[in-house]
């Protein structure tokens, strides 16, 4: 995590919200892992900035931070700081499920994939005297185990794409490599396995549910009538006292908002990059339980 103690914005934010920070430090049982109040404040500052980049009221901030998985967040913070007891707990509670997920995802290569991820979490690389841990990107919006599986899927996709590029090059012609653009996935790699598919459907469903819940009541009504009841624009207009053009425009806006919120959730809560998010949509669009083809279509994005 970027050190915040010299940032005047962080200093002011911490001073303004001392009561919240103190309450949540206790709620997370952060003292169990000897998490310093400074490190805890920096961790929650990063969480708050991700959710409220323009700032938030005291009530909004407390509600959001209290909704996070605080115990997991405290454990991740302690591991990032190198607390031996926290790492022992992490190894005992998290690593077995991480290895199991890696085996289901990558077969014989799973152990190596999980170990490389574990190394990133520990933070082997150093810069400016500080270990850089992947856990700095965990903000507590999902369970730590869920976030780890999401990152694991992302790493698997990255590795498959890298393998696809490597396999399509002629190793005897090194000059070719510098002239070729990045190659796409091989046809055999285009479809994720059962583990990836289930994971993509699950996280996309959760993100979509949250995005729909955040919409305005009338936006949800229009979506339900159009996608759930198969009403025409004219029929919806009679229900909402709007013209067909207005219904069409507001449906399009709601679809855009949904897609943006789902992409933001997959990125922020599950650590997915652009390639994994695209694959999430592709898999989820073909899942009968989600039927995202029309709802989150890029059609009309302009």
- Section 42-49 average pLDDT: 91
Residue 44's closest CA among 78, 77, 75?
Answer: 77
Asked whether the predicted pLDDT for residue 179 surpasses 50, the reply is no
Percent of the chain past pLDDT 70, that is, above it, reads 76
Q: What is the pLDDT of residue 126?
A: 59
Rounded CA-CA distance 287/284 in Å is: 5
- Section 92-117 average pLDDT: 83
For the domain spanning 191-295, the CATH number is 1.10.10.10
Give the start-to-end residue ranges of the domains of the chain.
1-91, 94-133+143-190, 191-295
Confidence of residue 73 (pLDDT cuts 50, 70, 90): very high
Asked whether the predicted pLDDT for residue 184 surpasses 50, the reply is no
Rounded CA-CA distance 279/191 in Å is: 9
Residue 101's closest CA among 40, 52, 153?
Answer: 153
Q: What is the pLDDT of residue 52?
A: 83
pTM, entire model = 0.58
């Amino acid at each position: 995590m970027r050190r915040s103690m010299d940032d005047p914005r962080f200093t002011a934010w911490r001073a303004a919200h001392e009561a919240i920070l103190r309450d949540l430090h206790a709620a997370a049982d952060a003292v169990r892992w000897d998490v310093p109040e400074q490190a805890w404040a920096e961790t929650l500052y990063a969480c708050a900035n991700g959710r409220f980049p323009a700032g938030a009221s005291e009530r909004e901030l407390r509600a959001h931070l209290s909704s996070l998985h605080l115990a997991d967040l405290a454990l991740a913070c302690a591991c990032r700081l190198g607390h031996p007891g926290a790492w022992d707990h992490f190894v005992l509670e998290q690593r077995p499920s991480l290895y199991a997920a890696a085996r289901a995802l990558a077969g014989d290569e799973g152990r190596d994939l999980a170990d490389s991820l574990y190394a990133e979490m520990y933070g082997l690389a150093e810069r400016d005297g500080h270990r850089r841990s992947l856990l700095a990107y965990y903000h507590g919006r999902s369970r730590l185990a869920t976030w780890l599986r999401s990152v694991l899927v992302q790493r698997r996709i990255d590795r498959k794409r890298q393998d696809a590029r490597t396999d399509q090059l002629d190793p005897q012609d090194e000059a070719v490599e510098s002239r070729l653009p990045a190659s796409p996935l091989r046809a055999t790699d285009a479809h994720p396995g059962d583990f990836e598919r289930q994971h993509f459907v699950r996280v996309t469903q959760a993100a979509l549910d949250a995005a729909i819940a955040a919409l305005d009541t009338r936006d949800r009504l229009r979506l339900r009538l159009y996608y759930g009841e198969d009403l025409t624009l004219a029929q919806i207009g009679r229900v909402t006292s709007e013209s067909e053009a207005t219904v069409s425009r507001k449906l399009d806006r709601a679809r855009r908002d949904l897609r943006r919120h789902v992409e933001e959730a997959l990125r922020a809560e599950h650590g997915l990059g652009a390639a994994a998010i695209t694959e999430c949509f592709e898999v989820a669009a073909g899942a009968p339980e989600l039927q995202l083809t029309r709802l989150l279509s890029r059609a009309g994005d302009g």
